[in-house]
Chain A
Amino acid sequence: MKEKVFDGQFYRKLESIAIKARMTMTDGAAGGRKSKAKGNSVEFSDFREYTPGDDFRRIDWNAFGRFDKLYLKVFMEEREALTNIFVDCSRSMDFGEENKGAMALRISAILTYLALNNLDRVCLNKVQGDTLSCSSLYMGKSSFPRALQFLESSDFKGSTNLAATIKRKELKTRGIAIVISDFFTIGSSIDMIKYLSYKKQQIILIQVLNEEEVNPVIGGQVRLIDSETREEVNLTITPKLLKAYHNKLKSLQLGVSEGVKKYGGRFLQISTSEALDKIVFEYFAKEGII
């Protein structure tokens, strides 16, 4: 990484995002990561009628006295959600003036910060080639600098097979899986979605694309070189070919989006030219991530 990913500007932005994001949370629009399971906690959730086998210690005697019926007090079981963030660290991500990789790292950092703020545990995973380098579990805001350090040490090289690599990750508990990539990968994204879904993960796919990839400004005779594989292709760019490219991109996005929706996940596409706060407050909020 040539430029510094987490510069002063990022911190200022992060701060404002964190304050605002918290604000939105206190508004009750989203809330913390409450598990669906009801368990032993201090937070009251509901009443329900007693059925044989229930722990009778939990019977609300006051209610019995009033209604002459046995009611059980149900409490919300608060669990710490495990957020797994997978960052594509292939060579193709380190591309463009507005670097895709930097954007991916910044988004990871924001999401980590928000998750830690939410008392979630966060695990960062860098996907590079066939290897998956995982960070330790971060818990609490105090661990954020370590997370940043881990992210900053990222090196973009090699190619990626997202699906195959992510499958190696042992996901023992329910949680949130966030994959940040350009999704120009060899393996099928659907395989990856299926796997994550099987592992009871709430899936969030974030596609980071360069403006050049969204709207390539090329024409005539060009030799395109793949930044990952150094493979070369000689092309005569015609308007027809460009149109075909756009169509292909759209169908790819649509394919991933449809695939992930089927498993209750979310997909959003981000361009590197967009501002961070816009991404967070517009796209994340729209998709219900925050």
Chain B
Amino acid sequence: MRLFAPSGLWFLSLIPILILMYILKQRFEEREVPSLYLWHQVLMDTEATSPFQKLKRNILFLLQLLILLLCIFALSNPFIFNQSNNYENVIMVIDSSGSMSSKGNKDTKLEEAKLKAQERINSLSSGSKITLISSSRNSTVEISASSDKREVLNKLKAIEVTNSAGNIDDTYSLVKAISKQYKSYTVLYFSDRGVDLKDLNGEVIYMGPQRNNVSLDYIAQSLGDKGLRVMLRVTNHSSENTDAEISLYGEEKLIEVKNEAIKSKETKTIYFENVPEDVKYIYGELTQKDGLEEDNKIYSIVKQKNAKKILLSTDKNVFLEKALAALKDVELYKALPSEKINEEFDLYIYDGEFKGQLPKTGNILFINPKQNNTFFNVGGELQGGKAIVVTNATTKYMSSSDFVISKITDITTPYWASALLKVGDKNVSFIGEQKGQRVGVLGFDLHNTDFPLTSEFPIFINNLVSYLVDRDASSSTMYNCGDSIDIAPLPEAEKIFITGPDEKKIELSSTYPVQPYDKSYNPGIYNITQKIGEITVEKIVAVNFPVSESNINLAPQANSKVITNISSKGGINVMNYLLALALLVLICEWIVYLKS
């Protein structure tokens, strides 16, 4: 037993005061009687009949003294340790991976684990140093060696389910490192799967019970003749056979429902034919509820037909054609400079001379322009030299470029443009935006330089075209929960927002470099919005529950000390019992007082 607030014992000084008060209170009314003869005899008689007479006379005082002592003792916060749990340094590891979202006894397993952890924390002595670790995709030290229980509890409450894949065994090295600083410690794992404790001193609190689960593991679609062909993979993780009803939705519209009998531990692949392709995304859903709800839906983004159209107007430029052909998500059209262009394109590339009017919409890339136009003026031909790359979003990954340009065209750089390449102090390449049109200029013939021969050339063209046609902000569209969603911002993006399945719009910092979004805890469709002035560029990605977490019935490992019962507490806080006892004594005192 230990007193956590021994300063409370200072109140013991109240006891002499109580006694003093009693003595003062006991000022007898002095009364002279003719003789004490009779009184003595009476006293002798009564004392003979009840030996506790003296005690009885002081019973009120004794009871008050007892109440006071109990209260003081309660104030000093006594704590009785259980012999086996007499430790002070506790490392708690909470499994917050996807499988912990499955249903426990009443709530999700994670919530129940948090409750049990809370009970443990409350039962610890107040001087205990508690380290709290949440383990999902990454192990996060929520709080380290804190003896402030309240703060620890707050941190504990703040642990959210991540739905991400994670192996709690990965925390071993972290826990081992933390435990090294303590002479004695205990590790408490709260997990739904067996934990290999290895040489750690601790116990695993297993979060049961085992429940049936059927999961959708994989979705893929390919374009067929009459629409999409969708493939879904279903696994029954239960020990019983089951009938699964699988629905396929196109956005929020039900497309088809299929019933499949799935044996225990079986994985089945189901195909849906002729799925309409004019939807942004599709998802499969298991209608039946089971132990883990999160893996009953699986999302996939249908490739959108938004390939940018690029017109290349050139006599012949193999370097440019090759570099543009490497861009998979654009449609490249070619025309001769003499041809008249009627169609509208997203980007016009004029290599050398061109005929006719410049387009009013769409962006333009000029390569070695020969005549003046509405954007800039062109002068004569100048002697070239070694090219210098100016730092810009478009010249990313080009810092080590080393090339020369033999001849350059003298082009005045307009005020709205920013330089990309220089020869001496002359701008030979620049980009900018004028009247809603993005304009890029290369003031030299690609045949007069060794630039196309360097490895940086396709990068430069890729960057340049990306700038000029607003290509997709990010490449991948499929993620698992807890994965970082890469945000590839457009160079001019002013604001970037991400909206998850919970409809919450979160603004991401648009300062370069943009941090990947790592709070993709809920499976569903995430909408990434980039704002460039009035224009908004949208992109959707699908976040699915990790397959590895769907098996929620992993039995605890044999070599881990598993505790499923939380009743073995660190100790008992006696304070409340003492106060209750004091109240009881108070009632007794009242009864005694009334009786006397």
Which residues on the B side are within 8 Å of A77 (C-beta)? none
Specify the chain A residue showing the minimal Cβ separation from B28.
A223
The distance from the CB of B294 to the nearest CB of chain A, in whole angstroms, is 75
Instruction: Count contacts between A and B, CB distance < 8 Å.
Output: 83
On chain B, the residues within 8 Å of A238 by CB distance are 596
Q: Which residue of B lies closest to A159 (CB)?
A: B35
Contacts of B46 in A (CB 8 A): 240-241, 244
User: Judging by beta carbons under 8 Å apart, are A248 and B34 in contact?
Assistant: no
CA distance A220 to B291 in the complex (A): 74
Q: Is A100 an interface residue (CB 8 A)?
A: yes
State whether A227 touches B38 (Cβ < 8 A): no
Which residues 83-107 of B sit at the A interface, judged by CB distance below 8 A? none
- Give 1 or 0 for each of B545-570: 1 = CB within 8 Å of chain A CB: 00000000000000000000000000
Other contacts beyond A184-B38, A222-B30: 18, CB < 8 A: A92-B34, A92-B35, A95-B33, A184-B34, A184-B35, A186-B37, A221-B26, A221-B29, A223-B29, A224-B39, A226-B33, A226-B36, A227-B35, A233-B36, A238-B596, A244-B45, A248-B38, A248-B42
Contact of B34 among A213, A222, A231 (CB under 8 A): A213
Interface range on chain A: under 10, 10 to 19, 20 to 34, or 35 or more? 35 or more
Are B34 and A185 within 8 A (Cβ)? no
Tell me if A's interface is mostly helix, strand, loop or mixed: mixed
In the docked arrangement, what's the CA distance between A224 and B40, Å? Answer: 11
Which one, A92, A100, A225, A229, contacts B31 given CB within 8 A?
A: A225
With A184-B37, A245-B38, A249-B38 in contact, is A234–B28 under 8 Å at CB? yes
Complex interface: chain A residues within 8 A of B33 (CB): 95, 212-213, 216, 224-227
Interface check A210, CB cutoff 8 A:
yes
Choose from B34, B45, B57 the contact partner of A210 (Cβ within 8 Å). Answer: B34
Shortest Cβ distance from A95 into B: residue: B34
- Say whether, besides A184-B34, A244-B45, A235 and B29 are in contact (CB < 8 Å): no
Residue of B with least CB distance to A209: B34
Inter-chain contacts of B57 with A (CB < 8 A):
236
Bound complex: CA of A220 vs CA of B25, how far in Å? 12
Indicate whether B358 reaches chain A with its CB closer than 8 angstroms: no
How many residues of B sit at the interface, in one of the four size bands?
20 to 34
Give 7 nearest A-B pairs by CB, closest first: A223-B28, A184-B37, A92-B34, A184-B35, A95-B34, A226-B36, A92-B35
Q: Which residue of A lies closest to B46 (CB)?
A: A244
A75-130 residues with Cβ-Cβ distance < 8 A to B are: 92-93, 95-96, 100
User: B7-37: contact bitstring with A at CB < 8 Å (1 yes, 0 no)?
Assistant: 0000000000000000000111111111111
Interface residues of A in 181-239 (CB under 8 A from B): 182, 184-186, 210, 212-213, 216, 218, 220-229, 231, 233-236, 238
Which residues of chain B are within 8 angstroms of A245 by Cβ–Cβ distance?
A: 38-39, 42
Chain A residue at minimum C-beta to C-beta distance from B58: A236
A231 touches B28 (CB 8 A): no
> Contact at A185–B37, with CB atoms within 8 Å?
yes
Write the A151-175 contact mask toward B (1 if CB under 8 angstroms, else 0): 0000000000000000000000000
> CB of B488 within 8 A of chain A?
no
The B contact surface, by secondary structure, is: mixed
- B30 (CB) vs chain A CBs: closest residue: A223
- What is the bound-complex CA distance between A231 and B42, given in angstroms? 16
CA of A186 to CA of B35, assembled, Å: 11
CA distance A218 to B38 in the complex (A): 15
Query: In the complex, are the beta carbons of B45 and A182 less than 8 A apart?
Result: no
Say whether A29 faces chain B, with CB atoms less than 8 Å apart.
no
Residues of A at under 8 Å CB distance from B?
Answer: 92-93, 95-96, 100, 182, 184-186, 210, 212-213, 216, 218, 220-229, 231, 233-236, 238, 240-241, 244-245, 248-249, 252
Interface string of B54-66 (1 = CB under 8 A from A): 0001000000000
Least CB distance from A159 to B in Å reads 9
Known: A220-B29, A222-B29, A223-B31. A248 touches B36 (CB 8 A): no
- Per the bound structure, the CA–CA distance linking A245 and B37 in Å amounts to 11
On whether A224 and B34 interact (CB within 8 A), knowing A245-B42, A248-B41, the answer reads: no
Q: Evaluate contact between A252 and B34: CB separation under 8 angstroms.
A: no
Q: Which of B28, B32, B34, B37 contacts A221 (CB 8 A)?
A: B28
When chains A and B are docked, how far (Å) is the Cα of A61 from the Cα of B37?
66
Min CB distance B38 to A, Å, is 5
Partner of A226, one of B26, B35, B596: B35
Question: Which B residues lie within 8 Å of A224 (CB)?
Answer: 31-33, 36, 39
Q: How far, in angstroms, from A216 to B35 measured CA to CA in the complex? A: 12
Closest to B50 in A: A240
Q: Which of chain A's residues have a CB closer than 8 A to the CB of B31?
A: 218, 222-225
In the complex, A240→B596 CA distance in Å? 10
Q: Assess whether B43 is in contact with A233, with CB atoms less than 8 Å apart.
A: yes
Distance A241 CA – B31 CA, assembled complex (angstroms): 16
Distance, CA A234 to CA B54, complexed state (A): 11
15 A-B pairs, CB-CB below 8 angstroms? A95-B33, A100-B34, A182-B34, A184-B34, A186-B37, A212-B33, A213-B38, A221-B26, A222-B30, A224-B31, A225-B33, A233-B36, A241-B42, A241-B46, A248-B42
A216 to chain B, nearest CB (A): 8
In the bound complex, how far is the Cα of B338 from the Cα of A106, in angstroms? 163
Residues of chain A within 8 A (CB-CB) of B30 are 222-223, 225
Nearest Cβ in chain B — how far from A20, in angstroms?
32
Contact between A222 and B28, CB atoms less than 8 A apart: yes
Q: How far is the CA of A245 from the CA of B40 in the complex (A)?
A: 10
Once bound together, how far apart are the Cα atoms of A224 and B45, in whole Å? 17
When distances are taken between beta carbons in the complex, the residues of chain B under 8 Å from A241 are 42, 46
Closest to A100 in B: B34
CA distance A68 to B238 in the complex (A): 150
| Docked complex Cα distance between A71 and B27 (Å) | 82
- Which single residue of chain A is at the shortest CB-CB distance from B45? A244
**Alpha-carbon separation in the docked complex, A236 to B61 (Å):** 14
Contact indicator A231/B29 (Cβ below 8 Å): no
B32 (CB) vs chain A CBs: closest residue: A225
Cβ of A236 to closest chain B Cβ, rounded Å: 5
**Bound form: Cα–Cα A240–B42 in Å:** 11
